[in-house]
Copies of this chain bind each other. A is one copy, B any other.
Amino acid sequence: MKDLTPMYVPTFDDVLAAHERIRPHIHRTPVLTSSYFNELVGAELFFKCENFQKAGAFKVRGACNAVFGLSEAQAALGVCTHSSGNHALSLSYAAGRRGIPCNVVMPRTAPQAKKDAVRGYGGVITECEPSTSSREAVFAQVQAQTGGEFVHPYNDPRVVAGQATCSRELLEQVEGLDAVIAPIGGGGMISGTCLTMSAIAPGVDVYAAEPKNADDAYRSFKAGRIIADDAPETVADGLKVPLKDLTWHFVSNHVADIFTATEEEIVEAMKLTWKRMKIVMEPSCAVPLATILKNKDVFRGRRVGVIITGGNVDLDTLPWMKG
């Protein structure tokens, strides 16, 4: 059954309200620079470190906005969601801060670190198979049983408005940005970035970076319509999900371009960032840098914001240790 509710597209006023609402629950994350990467690319890169964010990822912004925007009556039933990881633990964190129940459906293949973190914040996990179809089917059961408010990981105006606060901070922290790049999976961060930039910094180009092995957004962007894959395989476990109508709205209207990187390029960029910047970040966060390194001409001489989206990684199974 198709949902016929007209889609609400959040505005920058929603972003301002979200920022006030979530401020007590999130970090204003630092922006780091690296002369090594600046010289390597020939650009000025500003890394917005959401890996240092509460719950270890930017997703806590959207999750907190949704949870703390609920009425008392809604909140009493709790919240539920499906997620490859960071949204699950962000929603668990937010629900824990408000003291309400949180049920999440996660692929059984999600990183153990993320499952542990969800449980650490008090979330209850139901596992599904690692495919969009399985995840949505299992979730329907969980939601029916709990009656909790569904907070979609990205196709939700409350979530997009929350994620948009990240770019707002970045603009306050770095003057004269020419461009910003973030990973794209379902498109929540990119949509929030487009929302903020189009409202208060329309001259800033928004680029999205995607694993070549899960390049549904890239193909959608080129085709002019949503193309969804069911179960792509990539080391960037946060980026396997497809665009939905709300995020497609922002991607199709505001994104300047989408670049892709191979698995090898992603792992190499991830390891190089750990080595040179001394920060722990997820494979998903390495995709923007991997695409910058192979598209230097696009970025040369420009001031570029790079959103490091999260740092929840299994330290026992680092991708360069495999094989």
Contact A315:B320 (CB < 8 A) given known A56-B278, A113-B275, A280-B278: yes
**Alpha-carbon separation in the docked complex, A311 to B320 (Å):** 18
Residues of B within 8 A of A30 (CB): 30, 32
In the complex formed, the residue of B with least CB distance to A117 is B275
Report if A4 contacts B (CB, 8 A): no
Considering the chains assembled together, what is the distance between the CA atoms of A49 and B277 in angstroms? 12
A318 to B271, CA, bound (A): 13
Complex contacts, A32 vs chain B, CB 8 Å = 30, 52
- Tell me the number of copies of this protein: 2
Contacts of A278 in B (CB 8 A): 49, 51-52, 56, 279-281, 311
Residue of B nearest to A113 (CB): B275
Residue of B nearest to A281 (CB): B278
CB of A316 within 8 Å of the partner chain: yes
Contacts of A281 in B (CB 8 A): 278
**Residue A144 at the chain B interface, CB threshold 8 Å:** no
Given the complex, which residues of B lie within 8 Å of A321, measured CB to CB? 316, 321
Please tell me the number of chain A residues within 8 Å of chain B, measured between CB atoms.
Answer: 21
Shortest beta-carbon distance, A28 to chain B, in Å? 12
Least CB distance, A279 to chain B, in whole angstroms: 6
Q: How far is the CA of A281 from the CA of B315 in the complex (A)?
A: 13
Among residues of B, the one whose C-beta sits closest to the C-beta of A310 is B278
Question: Which residues of B lie under 8 Å from residue A271 when comparing CB positions?
Answer: 315
A56: B residues at CB distance < 8 A: 278
B residues less than 8 Å from A320 (CB atoms):
315-316
Q: Which residue of B lies closest to A32 (CB)?
A: B52
- Smallest beta-carbon distance A10→chain B, Å: 29
In the bound complex, residues from chain B placing their C-beta under 8 Å from that of A316 are 320-321
Which residue on chain B has the smallest CB distance to residue A278?
B311
Q: Within 8 Å CB of A279, what residues of B?
A: 278-280
Interface positions of A from 145 to 202, Cβ below 8 Å from B:
none
Nearest B residue to A27 by beta-carbon distance?
B33
Beta-carbon contacts of A207-240 to B below 8 Å, as 1s and 0s? Answer: 0000000000000000000000000000000000
CA distance A277 to B275 in the complex (A): 16
**Docked pose: A5 CA to B140 CA in angstroms:** 80
A320 to B315, CA, bound (A): 9
Q: In whole angstroms, how far apart are the Cα atoms of A277 and B278 in the complex? A: 11
Contacting B at CB under 8 A, from A303-323, are 311, 315-316, 318, 320-321
With A and B bound together, what is the CA distance between A35 and B136 in angstroms?
Answer: 34
A130 to chain B, nearest CB (A): 23
How many Å lie between the Cα of A18 and that of B276 in the bound state? Answer: 26
Shortest distance between the CB of A278 and any CB in chain B (Å): 3
- Beyond A275-B315, A278-B311, A315-B318: 17 further Cβ-contacts under 8 Å? A30-B32, A49-B278, A52-B277, A52-B278, A113-B275, A271-B315, A274-B280, A274-B315, A275-B280, A278-B279, A278-B280, A278-B281, A279-B280, A280-B280, A316-B320, A316-B321, A321-B321
Report 11 cross-chain contacts, Cβ distance below 8 Å, ordered by A residue.
Answer: A51-B278, A52-B277, A56-B278, A271-B315, A275-B280, A278-B281, A278-B311, A279-B280, A316-B320, A316-B321, A318-B318
